[in-house]
Amino acid sequence: MEQVNPTRMELIKKNAQIKLAEQGRDLLREKMDALIREFFLIMENVSKSRDELEKVSDLAQRSLLIAQAVDDPVALKSASFATKRHITLDISGKNIMGIPVPVIGKKRVSLSLLERGYSILGVSGRIDETAEKFEAEIDLIIGLAETETALRRLGDEIQMNRRRVNALEQVLIPELKKQAKFIKIIIEEREREDLYRLKKVKKILDQKKKAAHRMKTS
């Protein structure tokens, strides 16, 4: 135990520290509960998005396999090069319960037939369908990246808050209470000793007073 000065002022200080630590623990618990509620709300969205992404990805792969099996490989390869491009995202930020999370601008990757860069007369509808499905898959991946990042940051904050609550509840508060109890015991022992000495002094004074009274009356 940390060495403490067993005085009334120190006891008042320790009790104030205990109260402050308990208030901090309670506030952290409230924040953690709110974060957990928000975490599970986002988790539900992430779960739905993952399921949807899996379905769209399977459809995209199936369309590609059909196009590879049926269409002219040169036309398919030419279309893939024509639609190849960089994807630019607008990323900003927002706060969820004080936690900064990214916000990706809702720019759709999906394009119309005329925007894909290849001749609509030179490719089949299967290739158009394949491009459409892969574009939809990329849209879902971008949206999922935003929610999964928010989920991960909330999870990290929940873990950090849990460690802080545990440190307060299992280490700091018990140690402060132990110190306060020690100080209180020392003060009570001193008070008992002081009371004993006062009684002893009073007894001696009473004896002297009685002796002086007897001398006067004798």
Per the CB < 8 A criterion, the answer to whether 187 and 5 are in contact is no
Residue 10 binned pLDDT confidence (cut-offs 50, 70, 90) = very high
Residue recorded with tokens 């002086």: 212
* pLDDT higher than threshold 70 for residue 77: no
* pLDDT higher than threshold 80 for residue 104: no
Separation between Cα atoms, residue 25 and residue 81, nearest integer Å: 58
DSSP-derived letter for residue 5 is -
Of the listed ranges 18-32, 105-119, 198-212, the least confidently predicted one is 105-119
Q: What are the backbone angles phi and psi of residue 85, rounded to the nearest 5°?
A: -160, 165
Q: Say what the pLDDT of residue 116 is.
A: 53
Q: Say what the pLDDT of residue 17 is.
A: 95
Q: Which of 162, 143, 130, 179 is nearest to 52 (CA)?
A: 143
Tell which CATH classification among 1.10.1740.10, 1.10.1520.10, 1.10.287.3240, 3.40.630.30 matches the domain 17-171: 1.10.287.3240
- What b-and-e string marks burial along 100-128, b requiring 16 or more CB atoms within 10 Å of the CB? ebeeeeeeebeeeeeebebeeeebeebbb
Residue 78 binned pLDDT confidence (cut-offs 50, 70, 90) = low
Separation between Cα atoms, residue 134 and residue 109, nearest integer Å: 9
Tally: H helices and E strands in the chain: 4, 2
Mean pLDDT value of segment 115-134: 66
Q: What is the tens place of the pLDDT at every residue in 16-34?
A: 999 999 999 999 999 999 9
Does this model's pTM top 0.85? no
Q: Which of 4, 42, 132 is nearest to 79 (CA)?
A: 132
Q: Say what the pLDDT of residue 196 is.
A: 86
Q: What are the backbone angles phi and psi of residue 57, rounded to the nearest 5°?
A: -65, -40
* pLDDT higher than threshold 70 for residue 117: no
The tokens of 68 are what? 């590879």
Three-state secondary structure call for residue 101: strand
Q: Say what the pLDDT of residue 65 is.
A: 86
Q: What is the tens place of the pLDDT at every residue in 137-165?
A: 888 888 888 889 889 999 999 999 999 99
